[in-house]
Structure 1
Amino acid sequence: METTTRPIPRRWLAAVLGAALACTGAATAVARTAGIAHAATAAHSPLAARSPLAVAGRGAIVPFTELEAEAARTNGTVIGPDRTYTSLPSEASGRSAVKLDAAGQYVEFTLTQPANAVTVRYSLPDNAAGTGITAPMELSADGTRLKDLSFTSKYGWFYGSYPFTNSPGDKPHHFYDETRALFGKTLPAGAKVRITLPSTAATPSATVDVADFEQVAAPVTQPADSLAVTDYGADPSGAADSTSAFQKAVDAGKAQGKTVWIPQGTFRLTDHVVVDQVTLRGAGPWYSVLTGRSSTDRTRAAGIYGKYVSGGGYSGQIRPQEAGGPSRNVTLKDFAILGEITERIDEDQVNGLGGAMSDSTVDNLWIQHTKVGAWMDGPMDNFHIKNSRILDQTADGVNFHWGVTNSSVENTFLRNTGDDGLAMWADTKTNAGDTFKNNTVVAPILANNIAIYGGKDISVTDNVVADTLTNGGGIHVGNRFSGVGPGNGTDVSGTFTLARNTTIRAGNTDIGWPFPIGAIWFDARASAIDKATIKVTDTDILDSSYSAIMFVSGTTKGVEFNNVNIDGTGTFAMQFNDPASASFTNVTAKHLGFTEPVYSCLGSQLSLTQGAGNSGWNSKLPATYCGEWPKPNYDHNGTDPTPPPTSPPPSPTENLAKGRPVTASGSVDQYVPEKAVDGDATSYWESTNNAFPQWLTVDLGATRSVGRVVLKLPPATAWGARTQTLSVLGSTDGSSFGELLASKSYRFDPATGNTATVTLPAGTGTRYLRIRVTANTGWPAAQFSEVEAYTS
């Protein structure tokens, strides 16, 4: 391998990555326990305002009542609904919010339940330096001022494609943040709580998305015979660094078999506190708060970590006190970690929770403004997170990484994560027997609400997910990312149970692909998904941004859909980009956004077995739609779906292969086939070493006339000149290939752009274009940074 030209491998490689309207109605309350339908806010989309907290029996039981700003009384401007990546309303709950841009503009919520506290989700503009704006907002009730809320944008506004930057530029995203406040008294139902922009001196505008009102209980009292961190020197004022005091207290708690108590206060930590065989408990997440970050080492910040396992999932430097894991018999309960992380640097261990903790429980924690809420590096067993809130992360909400077994996340509310909301990643050591159950995951800014990368016998049940933004869907199962595959025994296997889940406004565009992603989707790019039975049962797929169900990248088999309700899509009910074998019983679809319900160009490579009770999507089978991607249509209230688009013939300068589905005989590490069609000449595909012949096949989507193929390698001078011997093959069905051009040697030289042009015989037509390589003088594998196809 030519490591001098390669970037550091990263788990998040996928991210190579209104009219003004015065709303004077009362706010609509939604809560998981109430089962109240949320009012529609857009006349053209009756499904657009479904609330993820109004699904009876599914999702997290939350302690708050959620009120949407766009359904409240306001003299501001309602923005949205809009699902377009990088637009301000696209990241809002329900895809709409209220913008205040003049002094005195407000949003006024009418309480439906008594409350003494509120959490407000909002957005402020960034500043020119990318460090954010902080501005006061007035909070009042029934005309009486309560206090000021501090809104800030220092934790938001990322730019560009992955890896993101905080410097203002293109593709702005991650706009929203959350702040919380206790009122100091209980307000009754019917009270009118107003958030007002008092002035535009500090900020030109403020956008209010949603307010969560709750009745916070009195603080928990210190348990008998417990050790208080203040007894060891911890400072509840937050002025002094309490890291050492916390560590001494938890070590003493382990030695004496006693609970360690965090009293009311804000405690500043500048590094991890390492826990083992101890209970660490606070007075409640509104009262006992951990915060802080080192001023000299930005890789160190407040966090509670278990001990790492030697040779385990974390490959970075482990301090002596963090070794010797996994930690065991740890309980973390009733406190908050409100971090100070404003950027995303994947190598930094600045997560809320981390390391390895077996036989351990996390209960009623509030984790906000860390990189990942809980990044757990195994091997570890029997670890459980429950009854918690994870908000405003720069990366994942929770990730079970590397050999996490028999563990779960349950009854937890997640919103505004910077990557997957909940993830399991079987990176070189399989995850097994894990469960995500009764969680609510809203507005992940990148990737999926829930994602399972490899693993065995996994359950995802009774969850509600909503408002995917880009590069992901609502629920995802895939053989993808490094360390996931049959060579490690970490690929998808056993029984996967995806049951009683609800997706709302899930799926969206992928900035690296020319086609969108479905609400529930499967990706077999690293290896075929063919060792598991995947059961998708009793599931509601509502108001999907594009398709409801999608298969892509490689071959997926063994998926069983039973009792699935598809209600509202932007495009198709089913989207098959790559070969799939699946069965469908009682799968119904209505309110589709496109006249053709099934997308597939696969012909006989698509195997759909139908049981009883299917309707709304299968009437034209085996015929399917194979054409240009339609624009999404969310007008499902009596308007005809979008008709198939008419496609002009491609121009001679159009690269027919860019962004198309691609497969290969093999690949190494992150140098996957998609790199050869991503339009970026600096990234590349590399086949399995020392295993010629090797091939790469691009699906052009339909039979096209191809006059020339341009092959590229990265232009960097670090690449030495080389000659690759190759032939060109074609196919109309993806299985039977014929030779279009005989084998020949082609020179790639950085001095001339590292490019070779292959001219095909006149009149060559093919849908599947395959480049077959038998030799390479520079490396024992096939290598291409781009495979481009043109009509002439």
Structure 2
Amino acid sequence: MMLIALVFSLVTALPSLMRPAAAEAVAESPFDVPGRGATVPFTEIEAEDAATNGELIGPDRVYTRLPSEASGRRAVRLSAAGQYVEFTLTKPANAMSVRYSVPDNAAGTGLTAPVDLRINGTKLKDLSFTSRYGWYYGGYPFGNNPGAGSPHHFYDETRTMFGSTLAAGTKVRVQVASTSISPWFVVDLADFELVPDPIARPSGSLSVEDYGADRTGAADSTAAVQAAVDAGRTQGRVVWIPQGTFKVTNHIIVDNVTLRGAGPWYSVLGGNRVGVYGKYVADGGPSRNVQLRDFAIMGEVTERNDGDQVNAIGGAMSDSVVSNVWMQHNKVGAWMDGPMNNFTITGSRILDQTADGVNFHRGVTNSTVTNTFVRNMGDDGLAMWAETDNNVGNRFTFNTVVVPVLANNIAIYGGRDITVSDNVLTDTVTNGGGLHVGNRYPGVNGPTAVSGTFTLARNTLIRAGNSDYNWNFGVGAIWFNGLNQPISGAAINVTDTDVLDSSYAAIHTIEGSVTGVNFNNVNIDGTGTFALQLQAPGSASFTNVRAQRIGYSGPIYSCLGNGFTINQGSGNSGWYTSTPYCGPWPAPVYGGGGGDPTPTPPGCQVGTGNVAARKPISASGHTQSYVAANANDGDSSSYWESPNNAFPQTLTVDLCGTVNARRVVLKLPPSAAWATRTQTIAVLGSANGTDFSTLAGAAGRTFDPATGNTATITLPGTGARYLRLNFTGNTGWPAGQASEFEVYAS
């Protein structure tokens, strides 16, 4: 039993406008939270909410599955010519960004395929969908070799202007013309925008074209842009980037200068290794009085190399502002290496990075990221890392951070007097939570450890936290880690915060010890597992902390005995127990909780037709990247393969409910390279996933390329939720193999 210190105090309730009502707890969109998050210039429409003749995929929160990285964990799959997603404009727009995924190629270098963009049924142009900038494999720091398995970072986005303003009510369709290059296209969402006219060239400015820059992007403009920037510094004049795409292949070094464009839809610095950097302290920096405004920095980064400086913005800049800058396809949006002071990023977009969105790295003080939209980071969305030199007085405010593929939406590693407020954080995928404070990573200890006052206020976390593939258990939506040294002596105040539909626990402590955390007016509505997951000793105070729809029947996980002290104030409800759970990690349960012993995964419904399609599937083993999920992904060219010379092997699918299965259809890739083979396979069924009985005995099942490499097994129609294939032989390869495991009730 944990030691409980009851602390009663008078608490003045905030007005109802300051606290979302229970109905708001089911909000799925990051844009449905009044007064919090970035103010964005676009209107977002999710593909699953649009008209389509494609297939809805998800919801799903399992790392390495396509829906897990979709906004809202749902998207639409198009796998035949003529399939489409059609958006109806709710406001006038002249531009759109589409978030999508297409498969990788066998070499891991990506493929590029066109789709039609149609306006009210008439084709306007081709859009180019590519996997060049996505699909990473293996463990950290990841690579481009599909053989390493564990694929992730599936999505990218492309933007286009329509050439005219379309009225509200216009139908904008993304339609597959051909599957000859890509067998499928997944559409996640579209952002529609009324882009203003280009900004006029400031009077008295210097244009980069005056120094030989090429707006067509054909010639390398690095030297020309640098020459213009140097002249602007010495003459005290604004440096102008006109409309066009200027190829830049190295860092542009800025100091005491304003670099401005016609707007991020019009003025683009793009190319391999493009970046705008302040001077490092070791090189005479920090740079000062830098203004970067109204342009885009579009990189060409296709891998993660932590030792390579291929960030959109970097170096050190004091008394400087980045405003309305679009950063995409770099390693990091802005990796700032101090010491530096008074730096601000505002009104910007950071998309599709291979690592962090922003990292204030060592010695960054009194600096801010505000009103900025961040999506699809390969690591933390927004981070501060006080490595060796302390970060002090920094702020992340009014930002929207969506789908960090790895790690956290916002992470603070050490530092003093830090504020994280009024942000919206959604859809964490793996190895992190929505909001994290920790004494971890190199150099975060002693004078750089968490200290002073941390203000974590008015943040909304939606579907935050997820499973850690190293720890093999869940990470909380809000979590604290004292790995390098205990978190102690600081005041960490979590106030006026909403944790909605968290994937695992709402609040989590782990490693070392954690004290000094105060929760006040926190609303927890929906968790996959626990309200509190306590894996580090310490203490915290809780006042007006309310919880409902907890996933597990026991709301607190702790094996610490009396090692963690809960100080209760008034107004708490729905989360406290004097007998916390300590046992095996339960599977998360979404949408109501209660600890179902055989929980149904999110979005798992029986359906019709092939009832095994994209259902939860597992195997006794696999080789290389030929994982179980390949066997029911609808793509007959991908396949599961068991380890060699290790029969028997099994492949088991959860049909998400009882099915009176009448037949199983098994497929191998139809390529002629797959010679005829006979696999010895039995089919077993189970109601609970543990106790199986034989539905079809072991027999040779022949797969012949001349007849489609397909084998059908007839079943008696006995009801079962789980079907298992048991492989005991294969005349063509010393392993079990299946490209599609289909199940039909007729």
User: Are 1:565 and 2:547 an aligned pair?
Assistant: no
Which residue is 1:628 aligned to?
584
From 391, 412, 427, the counterpart of 1:431: 391
Identical-residue share of aligned pairs (%) = 67
Which residue is 2:315 aligned to?
355
Which residue is 1:65 aligned to?
43
Q: Deviations over 1:152-210 (max 9, x none)?
A: 00000000011201011310000000000000011111111100011001211100001
Distance in structure 1 (CA, Å) of the matches to 2:315 and 2:594 = 53
Distance in structure 1 (CA, Å) of the matches to 2:339 and 2:301 = 27
Shift of 1:644: 10
Distance in structure 2 (CA, Å) of the matches to 1:84 and 1:644 = 17
Does the C-alpha gap of structure 1 residues 115 and 412 become closer, same or farther in structure 2, counting only changes over 3 Å? same
AA of the residue aligned to 1:494: G
Q: Are 2:550 and 2:594, in contact at CA under 8 Å, matched by a contact in 1?
A: no
AA of the residue aligned to 2:170: A
Distance in structure 2 (CA, Å) of the matches to 1:643 and 1:128 = 40
Q: Are 1:359 and 1:382, in contact at CA under 8 Å, matched by a contact in 2?
A: yes
User: Are 1:601 and 2:579 an aligned pair?
Assistant: no
Which residue is 1:220 aligned to?
199
Distance in structure 1 (CA, Å) of the matches to 2:435 and 2:92 = 35
Which residue is 1:536 aligned to?
494
In the alignment, structure 1 segments of 5+ residues that lack a partner are: 1-34, 41-45, 294-300, 311-322, 646-792
Q: Are 1:595 and 1:644, in contact at CA under 8 Å, matched by a contact in 2?
A: no
Secondary structure of 2:540's counterpart equals: strand
Shift of 1:580: 2.2
Shift of 1:147: 1.2
Q: Are 2:278 and 2:316, in contact at CA under 8 Å, matched by a contact in 1?
A: yes
Q: Are 1:419 and 1:448, in contact at CA under 8 Å, matched by a contact in 2?
A: yes
User: Are 1:205 and 2:184 an aligned pair?
Assistant: yes
From 360, 367, 373, the counterpart of 2:327: 367
AA of the residue aligned to 1:135: A
Q: CA RMSD in A?
A: 1.5
The structure showing larger relative contact order (alpha-carbon pairs under 8 Å, at least 6 residues apart) is 2
Which residue is 2:737 aligned to?
none
Which residue is 1:126 aligned to?
104
Which residue is 2:350 aligned to?
390
From 376, 401, 405, the counterpart of 2:361: 401
Which residue is 1:178 aligned to?
157
From 440, 446, 465, the counterpart of 2:400: 440
Q: Deviations over 1:672-693 (max 9, x none)?
A: xxxxxxxxxxxxxxxxxxxxxx
Q: Are 1:471 and 1:508, in contact at CA under 8 Å, matched by a contact in 2?
A: yes
Q: Deviations over 1:697-733 (max 9, x none)?
A: xxxxxxxxxxxxxxxxxxxxxxxxxxxxxxxxxxxxx
Which residue is 1:665 aligned to?
none
Distance in structure 1 (CA, Å) of the matches to 2:472 and 2:376 = 25
Secondary structure of 1:384's counterpart equals: strand
Which residue is 2:679 aligned to?
none
Distance in structure 2 (CA, Å) of the matches to 1:48 and 1:230 = 51
Which residue is 1:139 aligned to?
117
Give the 5 Å matches for 1:212-291. 212-291=191-270
Which residue is 1:309 aligned to?
281
Distance in structure 2 (CA, Å) of the matches to 1:643 and 1:603 = 25
Which residue is 2:54 aligned to?
76
AA of the residue aligned to 1:475: L
Which residue is 1:584 aligned to?
542
Shift of 1:643: 5.3
AA of the residue aligned to 1:218: D
Moved more, 229-238 or 137-146: 137-146
From 480, 485, 492, the counterpart of 2:445: 485
Secondary structure of 2:490's counterpart equals: strand
Shift of 1:48: 7.0
Q: Deviations over 1:581-617 (max 9, x none)?
A: 1000000000111110011111111101000000001
Q: Are 2:463 and 2:503, in contact at CA under 8 Å, matched by a contact in 1?
A: yes
Q: Deviations over 1:359-398 (max 9, x none)?
A: 0000000000000000000000000000000000000000
Q: Are 1:594 and 1:644, in contact at CA under 8 Å, matched by a contact in 2?
A: no
Shift of 1:47: 6.9
Q: Deviations over 1:627-677 (max 9, x none)?
A: 1111000131xx7443599xxxxxxxxxxxxxxxxxxxxxxxxxxxxxxxx
Which residue is 2:72 aligned to?
94
Scaled by the length of structure 1, what TM-score is found? 0.72
Secondary structure of 1:603's counterpart equals: coil
Q: Deviations over 1:428-454 (max 9, x none)?
A: 010000000000000001000000000
Q: Are 2:28 and 2:72, in contact at CA under 8 Å, matched by a contact in 1?
A: yes
User: Are 1:54 and 2:10 an aligned pair?
Assistant: no
Shift of 1:515: 1.9
Which residue is 2:413 aligned to?
453
Secondary structure of 2:562's counterpart equals: helix
Distance in structure 1 (CA, Å) of the matches to 2:40 and 2:549 = 31
Which residue is 2:432 aligned to?
472
Distance in structure 2 (CA, Å) of the matches to 1:392 and 1:159 = 16
Give the 5 Å matches for 1:334-349. 334-349=294-309
Distance in structure 2 (CA, Å) of the matches to 1:641 and 1:47 = 21
From 476, 495, 504, the counterpart of 1:546: 504
Which residue is 2:14 aligned to?
none
Which residue is 1:709 aligned to?
none
Number of equivalences: 578
AA of the residue aligned to 1:359: D
Q: Are 2:399 and 2:423, in contact at CA under 8 Å, matched by a contact in 1?
A: yes
Q: Deviations over 1:389-409 (max 9, x none)?
A: 000000000000010000000
AA of the residue aligned to 1:642: D
Which residue is 1:195 aligned to?
174
Q: Are 1:594 and 1:643, in contact at CA under 8 Å, matched by a contact in 2?
A: no
Q: Are 1:572 and 1:592, in contact at CA under 8 Å, matched by a contact in 2?
A: yes
Q: Deviations over 1:264-320 (max 9, x none)?
A: 000000100000000000000000001112xxxxxxx1100000002xxxxxxxxxx
Distance in structure 2 (CA, Å) of the matches to 1:456 and 1:47 = 32
Distance in structure 2 (CA, Å) of the matches to 1:643 and 1:206 = 36
AA of the residue aligned to 2:246: F
Q: Are 1:507 and 1:518, in contact at CA under 8 Å, matched by a contact in 2?
A: yes
Distance in structure 1 (CA, Å) of the matches to 2:587 and 2:130 = 35
Secondary structure of 1:213's counterpart equals: strand
Which residue is 1:667 aligned to?
none
Q: Are 2:26 and 2:500, in contact at CA under 8 Å, matched by a contact in 1?
A: no
Distance in structure 2 (CA, Å) of the matches to 1:309 and 1:643 = 58
Scaled by the length of structure 2, what TM-score is found? 0.76
In the alignment, structure 2 segments of 5+ residues that lack a partner are: 1-17, 600-746
Q: Deviations over 1:19-56 (max 9, x none)?
A: xxxxxxxxxxxxxxxx9x9xx9xxxxx97761111110
Which residue is 1:649 aligned to?
none
Shift of 1:141: 1.2
User: Are 1:516 and 2:474 an aligned pair?
Assistant: yes
Give the 5 Å matches for 1:665-684. none
Secondary structure of 1:135's counterpart equals: strand
Q: Are 1:501 and 1:539, in contact at CA under 8 Å, matched by a contact in 2?
A: yes
